């Protein structure tokens, strides 16, 4: 077993001779058939995986970073060597979502994915909803309880969930999807006022990773969204993950389970290991040949997404009454609900609105118009997923 520091005190007992910091010699060892990579980070993990595949080993990994950046190349390399490259542990911990997509466990065409894939963000938003913490208080609690890394930026920026969604979309469409192709928004701009507004209207704010097929194109995003308090997603709390697949004929299929932690991750690694051993024993193919028959898709950005959504907009503006009136006029054009909090109710908040169904391009036009006559305006927005039950 390769580690950074063989003399480190560990919570389990292993004979000292089994631990080594010489990872090169492990990768080159001809008596090792399967490499399990759980070191994390892009390099040197990617290089060791590549070397192991080139040397004719199967590889199992938990590394979403490597898979989302180089999965397509490594998968092809594995296939060219007649070996397997499996990464169930890289997405959604205990939910076997990679197998569901790769092996077509759902016997129908999937045209949308709605998922909670980042436990830290979900824990923070659960705290902000239920305990009234502000963002920093909720983050501190997540760190205290071990739900967050010392550097939480990857989680709260949406990048972690973005890597996971990119992996899922790559399998679903059988074509590379890079995290940069996603519209990614973090959770750090949310305020207690947003949660109060959501609660008053029987909504909840959840950190979603979304893939939808709109107008023949694929639109993928990671963003905090408003869902109905009665929806299943509203009940997914703390470290739990959930995935909802929208299918053409059979409707919605939903999977829920622990998305992070040592044991869910280890069990996913073990399940891949067992798959390789079972397949080797039965000399089966190392990949699903039906994947190649899947139709590809062109991805689009939010500005190109033609679908209309309702948005919640919350703005803090200058005190100038002329500017306020102009903001009101602009927001009124697209809104069903416009609320101006009483002075002192929430410091800094001047208005909040719920728009009619408009495309992102229209939302951005409105926001730019407001900023054009009030450069100091602080405006945030959330998409409303009203149809997600």
Ligand X SMILES: NC(=O)c1ccc[n+]([C@@H]2O[C@H](COP(=O)([O-])OP(=O)(O)OC[C@H]3O[C@@H](n4cnc5c(N)ncnc54)[C@H](OP(=O)(O)O)[C@@H]3O)[C@@H](O)[C@H]2O)c1
Task: For residues 224 and 386, give the distance between their C-alpha atoms in angstroms, rounded to a whole number.
Answer: 14
CA 130 – CA 56 distance, rounded (Å): 51
Query: What is the Cβ-side half-sphere exposure of residue 76, based on CA atoms within 13 angstroms?
Result: 7
Three-class secondary structure of residue 223 per DSSP: strand
Strands 351-355 and 298-299: unpaired
Give whole-number Cα distances, 354 to 35, 226, 332, 333, in Å. 52, 11, 10, 11
CA dist 106 and 92 (Å) reads: 17
Centroid of chain to Cα 362: 25
Q: What's the closest the beta carbon of residue 332 comes to ligand X, in angstroms?
A: 46
Smallest gap, in angstroms, from Cβ of residue 256 to ligand X?
A: 16
Q: What's the min distance (Å) between Cβ of 262 and ligand X?
A: 6
For ligand X, which is the closer residue by CB, 110 or 119?
119
Instruction: Select 5 or 319, whichever has its Cβ closest to ligand X.
Output: 5
CB of 20 to ligand X, least distance (A): 9
**H/E element, 245:** strand 240-247
- Catalytic, out of 83, 159, 164, 275: 164
In terms of CB distance, is 113 or 260 closer to ligand X? 260
Cβ distance 378 to 189 under 8 Å?
Answer: no
Per CB under 6 A, residues contacting ligand X are 2-5, 8, 21, 23, 38-40, 62-64, 89, 93, 260-262, 265
Give catalytic status of residue 164 as yes or no.
yes
Catalytic positions, written as ranges: 164
């Amino acid at each position: 077993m390769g580690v950074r520091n063989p003399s480190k005190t560990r919570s389990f007992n292993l004979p000292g001779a089994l631990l080594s910091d010489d990872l090169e010699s492990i990768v080159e060892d001809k008596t090792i058939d399967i490499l399990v990579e759980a070191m994390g980070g892009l390099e040197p993990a990617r290089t060791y995986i590549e070397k192991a595949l080139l040397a004719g080993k199967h590889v199992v990994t938990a590394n979403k970073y490597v898979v989302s950046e180089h999965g397509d190349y490594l998968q092809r390399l594995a296939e060219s060597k007649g070996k397997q490259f499996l990464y169930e542990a890289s997405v959604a911990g205990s939910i076997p979502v990679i197998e569901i997509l790769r092996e077509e466990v759902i016997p129908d065409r999937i045209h949308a994915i709605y998922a909670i894939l980042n436990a830290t963000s979900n824990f923070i938003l659960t705290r902000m909803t239920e305990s009234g913490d502000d963002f920093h208080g909720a983050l501190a609690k997540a760190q205290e309880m071990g739900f967050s890394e010392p550097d939480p930026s990857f989680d709260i920026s949406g990048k972690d969930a973005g890597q996971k969604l990119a992996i899922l979309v790559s399998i679903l469409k059988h074509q590379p999807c890079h995290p940069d192709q996603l519209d990614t928004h973090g959770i750090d701009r949310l305020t207690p006022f947003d949660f109060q507004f959501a609660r008053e209207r029987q909504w909840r704010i959840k950190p979603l990773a979304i893939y939808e097929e709109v107008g023949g194109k694929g639109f993928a995003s990671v963003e905090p969204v408003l869902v109905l308090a009665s929806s299943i997603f509203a009940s997914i709390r703390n470290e739990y993950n959930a995935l909802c697949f929208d299918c053409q004929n059979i409707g919605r299929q939903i999977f829920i389970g622990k998305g992070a932690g040592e044991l869910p991750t280890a069990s996913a690694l073990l399940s891949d290991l067992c798959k390789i051993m079972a397949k080797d024993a039965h000399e089966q193919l190392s990949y699903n040949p039906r994947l190649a028959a899947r139709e590809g898709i062109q991805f689009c950005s939010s500005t190109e997404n033609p679908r209309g959504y309702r948005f919640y907009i919350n703005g803090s503006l200058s005190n100038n009454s002329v500017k306020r009136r102009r903001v009101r006029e602009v927001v009124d054009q697209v809104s069903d609900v416009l609320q101006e909090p009483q002075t002192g109710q929430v410091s800094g908040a001047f208005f909040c609105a719920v728009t009619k169904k408009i495309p992102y391009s229209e939302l951005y036009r409105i926001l730019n118009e407001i900023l054009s006559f009030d450069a100091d305006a602080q405006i945030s927005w959330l998409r409303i997923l009203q149809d997600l039950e």
